[in-house]
A and B are shown apart, each in its own frame.
Chain A
Amino acid sequence: MTTVSVEKTRVVRSGQRFMSGDDACAEGALSAGCRFFAGYPITPATEIAERMARRLPEIGGVYIQMEDEIASMAAVIGASYAGAKSMTATSGPGFSLMMENIGLAVMTETPCVIVNVMRGGPSTGQPTMPGQQDVMQARWGSHGDYEIIAVAPSSVQEMFDLTVEAFNLSETYRVPVFVLADEIVGHMWERVNIPEVESIKTVNRKKPTVPHNNRFEPFKPDEDFVPPMAVFGEGYHFHATGLTHDERGYPRTESAEAQTKLVQRLCNKIRKNKEKIIRVENTMLTDAEVAVVAYGIAARAALSAARKARERGIKAGLLRLVTLWPFPEEQVAEVARRVKAIVVPEMNCGQIVREVERAAKETPVIFLSKLGEEPHKPSEILDTIEGVQK
């Protein structure tokens, strides 16, 4: 990456700000070190592109509007391999088009961030309405076996914080990381505290320390299953491919051993590091008899409902999933062992609830579906909590 030196204050706009979730996401990306954005306009994520188009040139970065989301995702991978922290932002229809090259990013272990401000689907669906319908697509959308990381912001502040976190995770594990927001979180305005430059933790990919010679192995992992990353132009003359490859980066299309070794490592670098990756937020769960498990916008109504239940003498609590993938299975199982029932509100027809059911084992799980314009009302979740206690 060719870098232009600019004052850090121009990059990080520290202080108390009032802005939308989409804007906070863009500022979070810049604070994390993002210097390349390729995208295609789509409601309700367009404001991220607009802010990046204005802000990136101010700090010597690159914004480009590509011809479609397939191209956007390909360009993001190219820029990452040229040394830039890179991202794109989209919504359901664009996310579908990106799946092809998200698979390429997984296979070539490309650090990058994909923001999906979820709207209502399937297909063109409801462009201006919220949804949480792409959660399973985020996990399984591209073909083949792999593990992925996804985080779900619930507030404008988290659109900033979790975008920074997404970049750090992608650089640490060399994997595409999803920020799964929704139309409400993306479009609502709230106060955001943007920290001072020094207190924003950023992570850069590991660099190879071996000499530039023709024996360089660009996909040879360290003990954490993650290979250090060379980038173009450094003199390594390395090769990367979407084909199954060995540690040298060379195609091994007919070797069961190479396929097993590579694909298992791609899964293991997430699975074996999940304790370091997964984040959940426990509220009033210590003595809870009913737990709500929620994420994104639905978690806000869930928190309100749990508090109201407490006011009425019901021991309710909230397990908020900050990380959706890898799924916080042990955290859910631990809560499930202690409560009578789990309530899962989601703005879809039932996606994360399947994972919750799997982790909860014998504990009953009650699903609250919501589609269309409005998120769950706290009263709807409260009624369900009260129903459990009867």
Chain B
Amino acid sequence: MTEESPHPYERFLRKDRIPHIWCEGCGNGIILNCFARALDELSIDLDKVVVVSGIGCIGRVSGYTNTDSFHTTHGRPIAFATGVKLANPELKVVVISGDGDLFAIGGNHFIHAARRNLDIQVICANNFIYGMTGGQMGPTTPINTWTPTTPYGNIEQSFNLVHLAAACGAVYVARWTTLHTRWLTESIKKALQKEGFSFIEVVSECPELFGRYNKMETGIKMMKWFKEASQVQHFSDPAKAELTPNRIVVGEFVDIEKPSYVRLRREMTERVLEKK
């Protein structure tokens, strides 16, 4: 028997909350691992990190990170994070949530936080469906795929999240799959150092639901899809960043500088305080 050695990122986890609730083959653990690795490599003070999540499978992530953390109502993590960041700009406020949470019920908050260029990082686990409730279709479900609420095939067009984020004004936008762990970690590191609103979409596998309904019933099969379909196209037009059964365009799409909301607010407050 081999001796148990501590996990290298143990200090980033609430050990008394492990094992987590995620299914075998789920991509959420990979995302959490990349996030921990990014924090570690940047030597970020964990006392100053707040992880905020919404409702859904990935929404449970805030319960596992050994930082201050808050699990909000469905769709509201970005709005909650806005209050946190403005009340204490010294905090590093990271939203980690799902595609349904951030882009269906929470879509309005996403577009406005991006427009304001609010200094938060948003990491979206896109598994194409509502996992926690049993795999129903959502705004990212690809057309012509199957879910429990699209028994005759999905006839809705899906959101292109990186295009949306870029159009709304995000200063950093990237898309990876859970297969691209090194790229993803580097992207999270970049986002954490960026002033303003940064967005990373992580295409993630849900073999239990999306996979099972679409002939990819194991994590390995879904990973094979990611491997075969992915094409790295850095700084290509996000409007053309396809995410279909045949092709997944990944890479960094936006990396620009623009005065952030916290900076503009600080400057405004300084002007007001001087005048008085």
Is the beta-carbon distance between A236 and B63 smaller than 8 angstroms?
no
Question: At the interface with chain B, which of A15-23, A60-68, A146-154, A200-208?
Answer: A60-68
Q: Give A97 Cβ to nearest chain B Cβ, in Å.
A: 11
> In the complex, A143 Cα to B152 Cα: how many Å?
35
Q: Considering only CB atoms, which chain A residue lies closest to B68 in the complex?
A: A232
Please tell me if B133 contacts chain A, counting CB pairs below 8 Å: no
Chain B residues with Cβ under 8 A from A83's Cβ? Answer: 87-88
Chain A residues with Cβ under 8 A from B273's Cβ? Answer: 4, 6, 57-58, 60
Chain A residues with Cβ under 8 A from B69's Cβ? Answer: 237-240
A74-B79 contact, Cβ under 8 Å, with A60-B273, A83-B87, A239-B14: yes
Is the beta-carbon distance between A86 and B87 smaller than 8 angstroms?
yes
Interface mask (B88-112 → A, CB under 8 Å = 1, otherwise 0) = 1111000000000000000011011
Q: Considering only CB atoms, which chain B residue lies closest to A240 in the complex?
A: B70
The number of chain A residues with a CB under 8 A from chain B is 51
Cβ-neighbour of A237 out of B67, B73, B91 (below 8 A): B67
Q: In the complex, which residues 26-84 of chain A have their Cβ closer than 8 Å to any Cβ of chain B?
A: 35-36, 38, 57-58, 60, 62, 64, 66-68, 70-72, 74-84
Q: In the complex, which residues 41-96 of chain B have their Cβ closer than 8 Å to any Cβ of chain A?
A: 46-48, 50, 52, 60, 62-63, 66-73, 76, 79-91
Cβ-neighbour of B112 out of A57, A67, A241 (below 8 A): A67
Interface centre among A75, A77, A104, A232 (most CB of B within 10 A): A232
Q: Give B70 Cβ to nearest chain A Cβ, in Å.
A: 5
Please tell me if B7 contacts chain A, counting CB pairs below 8 Å: no
Q: In the complex, which residues 237-272 of chain B have their Cβ closer than 8 Å to any Cβ of chain A?
A: 265, 268-269, 272
Is the beta-carbon distance between B62 and A239 smaller than 8 angstroms?
yes
Is the beta-carbon distance between A75 and B47 smaller than 8 angstroms?
no
Is the beta-carbon distance between A82 and B70 smaller than 8 angstroms?
no
Please tell me if A243 contacts chain B, counting CB pairs below 8 Å: yes
Chain B residues with Cβ under 8 A from A388's Cβ? Answer: none
Chain A residues with Cβ under 8 A from B83's Cβ? Answer: 36, 38, 74-82, 86
Is the beta-carbon distance between A74 and B86 smaller than 8 angstroms?
no
Majority secondary structure of chain B interface residues (helix, strand, loop or mixed):
helix
Please tell me if A211 contacts chain B, counting CB pairs below 8 Å: no
Chain A residues with Cβ under 8 A from B268's Cβ? Answer: 57
Chain B residues with Cβ under 8 A from A35's Cβ? Answer: 87
Please tell me if A368 contacts chain B, counting CB pairs below 8 Å: no
Is the beta-carbon distance between A71 and B79 smaller than 8 angstroms?
yes
> In the complex, A237 Cα to B51 Cα: how many Å?
10
Q: Give A255 Cβ to nearest chain B Cβ, in Å.
A: 15
Chain B residues with Cβ under 8 A from A66's Cβ? Answer: 79, 82, 112
21 pairs of residues in contact across A and B, judged by CB atoms under 8 Å: A2-B89, A35-B87, A38-B82, A62-B86, A64-B86, A67-B79, A67-B111, A75-B83, A77-B83, A78-B52, A78-B83, A79-B83, A79-B86, A80-B87, A86-B87, A100-B76, A241-B70, A242-B73, A243-B71, A250-B17, A251-B71
4 extra A-B contacts, CB within 8 A, seeds A2-B87, A79-B83, A250-B63:
A71-B82, A74-B80, A79-B86, A237-B14
Closest 5 CB pairs of A and B: A78-B83, A75-B83, A74-B79, A82-B87, A241-B71
Residue positions of A touching B, CB distance < 8 A: 1-2, 4, 6, 10, 35-36, 38, 57-58, 60, 62, 64, 66-68, 70-72, 74-84, 86, 100-101, 103-104, 108, 214, 232-243, 250-251
Residue positions of B touching A, CB distance < 8 A: 14, 16-17, 46-48, 50, 52, 60, 62-63, 66-73, 76, 79-91, 108-109, 111-112, 265, 268-269, 272-273, 276
